[in-house]
A and B are shown apart, each in its own frame.
Chain A
Amino acid sequence: MTASTAETLLSVEDLKCQFDVSKPFLNRVLEREPKRWLKAVDGVSFSIKKGETFALVGESGCGKSTVARLVVGLYDPTDGHIYFDGKDVHNIKSNAEIQTLRRRFQMIFQDPFASLNPRWRVDRIVAEPIKVFGLMSDEKKIKERVAELLTQVGLSPADGSKWPHEFSGGQRQRICIARALANNPEFLVCDEPTSALDVSVQAQILNLMKDLQDTLGLTYLFISHDLAVVRHMANRVGVMYLGRIVEIADSKTLFEEPKHPYTRMLLATIPDITMSGKEKVIMKGEVPNPITPPPGCTFHPRCPLANERCKREAPALIAVSGGQSVSCHAIEEGRTA
């Protein structure tokens, strides 16, 4: 793979997104409570090269989906920048240019049941983005394109005349992928695309995604909480905890030489399917309430290496070696191997 020399397709810089989770105005006044904010994404930076898969992994609520939604423009960032092909996407003024840009991104969601209109036949669902962007107007051409897309994702053109409920979960995810590919996008944001599927069906979808990447040169932002899936799919991986990236590295490095205490513990939680019988370290505690995150390094209540500094001061993401960056005082101070 020529990935290392490839150019950057997407980069995000110091992305932040907070949600207002205050009680209603009147309650706030009566109970003398200030406004409350939840920092779902709190200063996230990464970049993705053309043709690569970058994965974000982390436990529920760490902000993965929020990053995905920010990237495709479903949410507006509170702060930070998103560059696509070198252009700051929030600085584009011309409508035509925004349209062109939007066509180049697509998103696939976790729930293939909720994301398909149950009252539309499959061919209409797949054709919709083509019509929205007005790329083709000839009905016959559109029909041909839909047939081509359905074939590409392993369905048959005849499936176009069926309803979504006639398909299994994996087949519905194929329909979602066909729809996402309709306008020849370059970049797909995939938010837990196989989490709702059985493993055997997941294998079909992951294989399909890899094949499509090879044939169409797609770039993926791949979101998952399943570390083994991430290892299988990604070239680079960012590990998130409470809205921040705590470690980022090439997939191989991250899985073979994890540095951050959270990454290490997360890797240890993966059930050992090979039954090698090695002793397990179990992570203590649970992810704290994101509305009132712990001060300093937000991982400190669960971290075996935490000291006084960790309770006061948030660590910065620092490069440790070729492409691996970690945010941890213990690593910076050399307190750990």
Chain B
Amino acid sequence: MTNDTQTPLLSVRNLRIEFPTRRGVLVAIDDVSFDISKGEVLGVVGESGAGKSLTGAAIIGLLEPPGRIADGQILLQGEPIHNLPHAQMRKIRGRKIAMIFQDPLTSLNPLFTVGQQIIETILTHKDISEKQARQRAIDLLTEVGIPGPEQRVDHYPHQFSGGMRQRVVIALALCADPELIIADEPTTALDVSVQAQIIALLKKLCKEHQTAVMLVTHDMGVIAEVADRVAVMYAGRLAEIGPVKELVQNPQHPYTKGLMGSIPVLGADIKRLVQIDGSMPRLTSIPKGCAFNPRCKQVFDRCREERPNLIATGKTHAACWLYDNQDKNQDNQGNDQDSQDKREQTA
């Protein structure tokens, strides 16, 4: 293990995912880079089709053909894992990186008791006796808050409620002590009261186990509760990335600003929500330049020609030309007046 503090746990570098189709190649993920450090929760948000799940699937090596990584690298503790043979990737899966899906039944086999499944996973990755593994399974079920774990360990998935099943899946994900968990919409299918329980549980356990999490969701509320940092995806690219507090309270990218304003919040008596007109482009018609330009109220000529990369805004990093030449205007808050100035400078 490279326990170098300089090396992030996970590094995604210029990731590009393509789908060859009869009508040409679709680029679903286009030049996406980010890091996750040990024990950190990175929230990944974005609308349906933004590329959140694909990014997660690529990291854990479950990208389904014809989808393929066409460019870029994925490094786990500094070692490339995007080009490993299947057998080797399978070892990493479960042991180093685990996955939690939206539907708990995707991760559970209906024909085996939850105990058998947890024990099998433990035995695959750890050198302990079956008896010890069973005890560990019971301990884990206790940890995820399943009442009567000594009996429940011998029950089948269908004997659990939806919320309890998701707890079992979390136990299963944690059982080999992975470094990273990729959780794709883990609470979307659950009731609000159960969602709150599962979020609290995931947060507590990952902290205790020092497990990093890539939490994929379209729910900004969930992100605000759990994440340390947030990545906002739009049309297969990163629009903005930064610490959760900054991003939620002080978004810089025009898309993130619109997104935050479109969420109804309690306590705020507003007549109309902020509206971003139009919709995210399909992969077949991603505009030239900044992918957000047809919907952006602050668009200027350069946006239609050149694609912006992530630029430091002082608080977050945003892929937006408004923040170019940052050095000239250190305390740019990205408000409309500033943007106006920027536009004149750049245009």
Give Cα distance in the complex from A266 to B196, angstroms: 10
Known: A225-B192, A266-B192. A203 touches B265 (CB 8 A): no
CB-based contact B276/A200 at 8 Å = yes
Closest Cβ of chain B: how far from A71's Cβ, in Å?
23
Give Cα distance in the complex from A270 to B219, angstroms: 11
CB-based contact A269/B225 at 8 Å = no
B6: CB under 8 A from chain A? no
A binding-site residues for B, Cβ under 8 Å: 59-60, 168-171, 198-204, 206-207, 210, 225-229, 231-232, 255, 265-275, 280, 282-284, 286-287
Closest Cβ of chain A: how far from B70's Cβ, in Å?
26
Task: Given A232-B270, A269-B193, output 6 extra A-B contacts at Cβ < 8 Å.
Answer: A207-B272, A225-B192, A266-B192, A270-B192, A275-B245, A286-B193
B308: CB under 8 A from chain A? no
Residue of B nearest to A61 (CB): B191
B258: CB under 8 A from chain A? yes
B binding-site residues for A, Cβ under 8 Å: 47-48, 161-164, 191-197, 199-200, 218-222, 224-225, 244-245, 248-249, 258-259, 261-267, 270-277, 279-280
Residue of B nearest to A284 (CB): B197
Residue of B nearest to A167 (CB): B279
Known: A169-B48, A199-B218, A232-B264. A273 touches B224 (CB 8 A): yes
CB-based contact A203/B262 at 8 Å = yes
Residue of B nearest to A287 (CB): B191
Give Cα distance in the complex from A286 to B166, angstroms: 13
Closest Cβ of chain B: how far from A214's Cβ, in Å?
10
Residues of A within 8 A of B276 (CB): 200, 203-204
Closest Cβ of chain A: how far from B251's Cβ, in Å?
12
CB < 8 Å neighbour of B279 from A168, A206, A265, A286: A168
Known: A280-B196, A286-B163, A286-B194. A206 touches B273 (CB 8 A): yes
Q: List 21 A-B contacts (CB under 8 A).
A: A60-B191, A168-B279, A198-B218, A199-B263, A200-B258, A200-B275, A200-B276, A203-B273, A207-B275, A231-B266, A232-B270, A255-B267, A267-B266, A269-B195, A271-B199, A271-B222, A272-B224, A273-B224, A274-B249, A282-B197, A287-B191
CB-based contact B161/A286 at 8 Å = yes
Give Cα distance in the complex from A61 to B163, angstroms: 14
The A/B interface has a contact count, at CB < 8 Å, of 117
Closest Cβ of chain A: how far from B315's Cβ, in Å?
14
Residue of B nearest to A154 (CB): B277
CB < 8 Å neighbour of A275 from B224, B262, B263, B273: B224
Give Cα distance in the complex from A203 to B263, angstroms: 7
Give Cα distance in the complex from A60 to B163, angstroms: 12
Residues of B within 8 A of A231 (CB): 264, 266
CB-based contact B264/A229 at 8 Å = yes
Give Cα distance in the complex from A24 to B293, angstroms: 59
Closest Cβ of chain B: how far from A174's Cβ, in Å?
11
Closest 9 CB pairs of A and B: A271-B221, A203-B262, A198-B47, A232-B264, A203-B273, A269-B196, A59-B191, A283-B193, A228-B264
Residues of A within 8 A of B270 (CB): 232
Residues of A within 8 A of B222 (CB): 271
CB-based contact A286/B225 at 8 Å = no
CB < 8 Å neighbour of A203 from B48, B200, B244, B275: B275
CB-based contact B273/A273 at 8 Å = no
Residues of B within 8 A of A265 (CB): 193
Residue of B nearest to A206 (CB): B273
Closest Cβ of chain B: how far from A290's Cβ, in Å?
13
CB-based contact B264/A275 at 8 Å = no
Give Cα distance in the complex from A185 to B265, angstroms: 30
CB-based contact B272/A282 at 8 Å = no
Known: A199-B259, A280-B200. A171 touches B273 (CB 8 A): no
Residue of B nearest to A283 (CB): B193
CB-based contact B249/A170 at 8 Å = no
CB-based contact B265/A228 at 8 Å = yes
Give Cα distance in the complex from A198 to B196, angstroms: 20
Give Cα distance in the complex from A201 to B244, angstroms: 23
Closest Cβ of chain B: how far from A246's Cβ, in Å?
14
Residues of A within 8 A of B161 (CB): 286
Residues of A within 8 A of B275 (CB): 200, 203-204, 207
Residues of B within 8 A of A232 (CB): 264, 270, 273
CB-based contact A274/B265 at 8 Å = yes
Closest Cβ of chain B: how far from A274's Cβ, in Å?
7
Residues of B within 8 A of A229 (CB): 264
CB-based contact A202/B262 at 8 Å = yes
CB-based contact A273/B248 at 8 Å = yes
CB-based contact B197/A283 at 8 Å = yes
CB-based contact A200/B262 at 8 Å = yes
Known: A198-B218, A200-B47, A207-B275. A286 touches B191 (CB 8 A): yes
Give Cα distance in the complex from A284 to B196, angstroms: 10
Residue of A nearest to B147 (CB): A285
CB < 8 Å neighbour of A200 from B244, B248, B259: B259
Residues of A within 8 A of B266 (CB): 227-228, 231, 255, 267, 270
Residues of B within 8 A of A202 (CB): 262
Closest Cβ of chain B: how far from A270's Cβ, in Å?
6
Give Cα distance in the complex from A284 to B249, angstroms: 30
Known: A203-B262, A273-B265, A275-B249. A170 touches B279 (CB 8 A): yes
Give Cα distance in the complex from A266 to B195, angstroms: 11
CB-based contact B272/A210 at 8 Å = yes
CB < 8 Å neighbour of B224 from A200, A271, A287: A271
Residues of B within 8 A of A170 (CB): 279
Closest Cβ of chain B: how far from A84's Cβ, in Å?
29
Residues of A within 8 A of B47 (CB): 198-201
CB-based contact A271/B193 at 8 Å = no
Give Cα distance in the complex from A239 to B333, angstroms: 42
CB < 8 Å neighbour of A201 from B220, B249, B279: B279
CB-based contact B221/A273 at 8 Å = yes
CB-based contact B191/A282 at 8 Å = no
